[in-house]
Chain A
Amino acid sequence: MRRKELLPRLADMLSSMELTVFCLVVLMILVVACTLAQVSLGIHSAVEQYIRSFFVWWSPESLPFSVPIFPGGGLAGGLLLVNLGMAQFRKLELSWRKAGLWVVHFGMALLFLGEFAAAFLQVESHLSIEEGQTVNYSQDARRMELALIDGTDGDADDVRSIPAAMIRSRGEIADASLPFKLRVHAYHENAELRMRGTDDPPSQATAGIGANILVRPASRPLGEEQDSPAAFIEPVAPDGRSYGVFLVSPALGGTQGFAHEGRTWSLSLRPRRYYMPFSLTLKDFKHDVYPGTSIPKNFSSLVRLLDPRSGDDRDVLIYMNSPLRHGGLTFYQASFGKNDTLSVLQVVRNPSWTLPYISCTLVALGLLWHFGAMLRRTLGGLS
């Protein structure tokens, strides 16, 4: 009996205008908080904390756990979406008079879905490419991976990679694809590396380049700066024989490795790579400035796109406001370096990228319809 009452009441609440207003206010507060937090946290963490979360968490020093103190963007947006859908069908009459609002609300729902989809599906990475170089992968400097490469046959693409998150959480890694185990001695999210002096304590590393390097854990950088992690890894053969402890870090150059059962393995900690089924060759990078100044006018990369799958072999000019879309990826001119011979492209995979375009058109038409009709009634009422 009570169940029957509860459901309609819940439906009433979910479709109420009070909830709409509540969600809008919560969203405004979150947007303000997220904007202010960017000053100290940087845009990435601020968005993670306030917008792309279901709750805003507070972790006081005295408590061992975090407390949710405010609804996050995911919750407010989700509730607003439910509210929008419920109110639409329960409250709003289906009539020409309200047709504009129907279209507006449908467009808004799409916009919300688009942002949810982006939060879950969008993958961002970077592709650095020098003039004349051919590259078939992009990298994500925010995520690290431990790459183990069997270089015996000279094929650099025979790569086994282990996400840094796994290294961080486990003491020992045994993977079916690896003929040996990996023992993790330490993992530092951010560390400073320098050459070891004579007075310094001995290094944890016993093999490779790391033996001469001093590693000091550092506090994580604020804002947009990126971590420079370091780890001590010990490959161990199935019979328990150790190949020594290696220091791995993206700050280290060169290769280091060991031989196992007649095969040579190298290991490195590097930004996570996403391999593409096609390649880009940078033919020319241009950095135009306004005459007599150093104010940039345009950046452009002339690349050759080679995709055996689709049979593409053509030149593409990627420049400001004009990206290349190919194979579900979008390549944007993002940065440059090395005296204008290196181009950095941002690579984004976002299957839902068309949603905002559709939703914007729908909302614009709907609002135009609705407010236009309103204005006509006002003007008609006056004359």
Chain B
Amino acid sequence: MTPRGLFAAVFACALGLAAWPAVAPAPKSDFDLEAFGRLPALEGGRVKPIDTFARSTLLVVRSKQTVRVDGRALSATRWLLDAAFKPETADTYPSFVVDDPEVLGLLGLAQGKGRYFAYWQLEPRREEINRQAQSAASVPSGARSRFQTAVLALETRMSLYERVKNTYMPSGRGDPSAELASFQALMRAAIEALRSGKAGKNAGEMMAALDSRMRGYQFLAEAAAFKSVPPLKGEPEEAWASFGESMLRPGAGRATHPSVPLFARMAASYRAGDAAGFNAAVAEQAAWARANAAEAARHARVEALFNRAQPFVSGMALYVVATLLVFASWATRREDVASAARAVLWAAFIVHSLGLLARTVLQGRPPVTNLYSSAVFVGWGAVLLGLFGERIHRRGFAAAGASAVGFATLLIAHHLGASGDTMDVMRAVLDSNFWLTTHVITITIGYSGTYLAGLLAAAWIARRHILRKPDAADDKAIVSLTYGVIAFSLFFSFIGTVLGGIWADQSWGRFWGWDPKENGALLIVLWNALILHMRWAGFARERGIMMMAVFGNVITSVSWFGVNMLGIGLHSYGFMDSAFWWLLTFTVSQLMLIMLAALPPRFWSHARPVDA
């Protein structure tokens, strides 16, 4: 096979594998769960498919996108359907993750076998959990103990789950279809009685029954977790309603919304195990939404496809393969393996880019809007830079560095995404596409550069300790790459930081306020400037520059994540939060690398005249 042919074949294979989740047939089920998941709903201030809400809710409640029941993994949509329509079944699913030993003690549950618990196990202690959470909530977030934070989190998860259960019928009880019919009949009778002015014998009884039903729907309207009834034509675009709110429409003198009986039918047939009836109701609702809320329905379908494709998970896998292939190419010194590594890296980059693009289009925003998306973008920028570096020096270092940063950042993003919806709406002051594009993008590219430089420097240090034979040309290539990347990140971090200042000048009236996030950005600029000046003045030579580049990793991580922990309160929360320990571990690992580099040459695997 020609080298070009090999590259193309590997590239196509990798892309095909990554595309599989999007095109794979859904797991067999009589109920068309996928179609239900594609229905649009309004939640958290934006229209999204019910599938997205189900996934982010399950992530919050269980820290996973699926729930395992009797050895089978149930999808998030299935879990949501069960919770809303068959809560007595969903209550037995191990949906809640409880780790804290003190909270387990409070619940009278044994620590040991599993960390997942079902709602019925927690329910008997519901009031106690509520009481503890209330007293924890009165403590400022920075000063809460580990137990208080944990019990508050558990309470948040339980009430979220309870709201899901109360979205269509009070704790999923009764037959919504029949109830809807009787409610409508009751309403008609009441209106008739009012019109004719003839108050019959049972008028008082009728009004009391109506009143109690209305109060029930009022409760549903307030408890609902999401709003799945789209606005009618002519109503304002944001006038979505929950099922309960729509039920109250006749009371306000308006006709029943056409979606209401459809959702009632879905609930009734789902409870009865009538797959055909359920599927028909879902299809009708989907058709109605396509005709009457076309934009929302289209958006929901595309986002549901994006959720299923999970491009960042595929990308992560491909980055691992690419890294391993680069290592293999170094071990075997075969050009075809190196070419395959490059092909996989390119495929991973394409998948990563498509994911970013899809998010950008879905949100109608620049790619970086929150911490989650910044992680995705930092990786993307580093990979792009690495691919460029690899074209200059085709020795695999830039490729290895790129795929390692790509993998690490996507992994970080994956964990950050566990806190809920990753496409959440932008708070007022951030609502500026212009500044999100200019300031946020440039500063994030600056992060990418510093990480790539740090990783290249780490590779340089590792080679000193691993390789038996020095390879001056390789070393020179790494040094020149690292220097170029540092210059690159100085440019972007400086521009990004100053643009941030200008944004602040535009929105708060001061160019520079010395707040933690600004200071973090400034530290990166100062550090990169310091490295370059040390080099120009000759105070640091190859080794010194490499050590400083590795420390750049620490500075970037601290300004990216560390200052956020500071904002929450340095004293207690920061030290309990697992992210803090990861940051600390990472910092220690980088310091150890620097120490390895600082060791005198006789500790290296090959002795070589030392510089600086």
Interface residues, chain A, CB within 8 Å of chain B? 17-18, 20-21, 24-25, 27-28, 31-32, 34-36, 38-39, 43, 46-47, 51, 111, 114-115, 118, 122, 124, 289-293, 295-299, 320-323, 330, 332, 334, 346-348, 350, 353, 356-357, 359-360, 363-364, 367-368, 371, 374-375, 378-379, 382
Contact = CB atoms under 8 A, between A and B. Distances in A.
Given A17-B536, A290-B45, A356-B498, A114 B506 contact: no
Interface string B419-437: 0000001011101100100
23 contacts: A25-B530, A31-B522, A31-B523, A32-B523, A34-B519, A39-B569, A39-B571, A43-B513, A43-B514, A43-B515, A51-B514, A295-B425, A296-B428, A297-B45, A297-B431, A323-B509, A332-B508, A347-B509, A350-B509, A356-B501, A356-B512, A357-B502, A371-B487
Contacts of B533: 17, 20-21, 24
Interface stretch (B249-257, B354-362, B488-496): B488-496
B511 A118 contact: yes
Nearest to B492: A367
A34 B510 CA distance: 18
A35 B427 contact: no
Interface string B469-494: 00000000000100010011011001
B240 interface: yes
A314 B514 CA distance: 35
Among the interface residues A24, A36, A359, A363, which one has the most CB atoms of the partner chain B within 10 A? Answer: A24
B575 interface: no
A290 B430 CA distance: 14
Given A356-B511, A360-B499, A367-B494, A296 B536 contact: no
B428 A364 contact: no
Among the interface residues B427, B490, B498, B515, which one has the most CB atoms of the partner chain A within 10 A? Answer: B498
Interface residues of B, number: 60
A35 B45 contact: no
Contacts of A379: 392
A368 B240 CA distance: 50
A79 to B, nearest CB: 14
A376 B586 CA distance: 35
A266 B499 CA distance: 48
A6 B59 CA distance: 69
Contacts of A296: 427-428
A43 B484 CA distance: 36
A34 B522 CA distance: 12
A297 B526 contact: no
Shortest Cβ-Cβ A-B pairs, 3 listed: A290-B45, A291-B238, A17-B537
Given A295-B427, A367-B490, A323 B506 contact: yes
A3 B512 CA distance: 42
A375 B507 contact: no
A321 B432 contact: yes
A360 B507 contact: no
Contacts of A350: 509-511
Contacts of B431: 297-298, 320-321
B527 interface: yes
**Consensus secondary structure, chain A interface:** helix
Interface string B565-599: 01001110000000000000000000000000000
A292 B228 CA distance: 12
Nearest to A27: B526
Contacts of A34: 514, 519
B43 interface: yes
A25 B527 CA distance: 8
Given A28-B530, A346-B509, 4 more contacts: A21-B539, A51-B514, A290-B44, A292-B227
A371 B532 CA distance: 12
Contacts of B501: 356, 360
Contacts of A330: 509
B3 interface: no
Nearest to A298: B428
A141 to B, nearest CB: 16
A291 B240 contact: yes
A36 to B, nearest CB: 7
A293 to B, nearest CB: 4
A346 B508 CA distance: 7
B335 interface: no
Contact of A360 (B44, B240, B502, B536): B502
Nearest to A47: B514
A273 to B, nearest CB: 18
Nearest to A73: B514
Given A35-B563, A43-B515, A292-B227, A297 B428 contact: yes
A124 B510 contact: yes
A298 B428 CA distance: 5
A378 B392 contact: yes
A292 B526 contact: no
Contact of A28 (B495, B526, B537, B539): B526
A375 B494 contact: no
Among the interface residues A43, A292, A295, A374, which one has the most CB atoms of the partner chain B within 10 A? Answer: A292
A124 B509 contact: yes
Contacts of B427: 295-296
B46 interface: yes
A289 B426 CA distance: 11
B529 interface: yes
A301 to B, nearest CB: 13
Given A17-B539, A34-B519, A118 B512 contact: yes
Contacts of B536: 17
Nearest to B537: A17
Nearest to A20: B533
B513 to A, nearest CB: 7
A24 B490 contact: no
A375 B511 contact: no
Nearest to B534: A21
Contacts of B507: 320-321, 323, 332
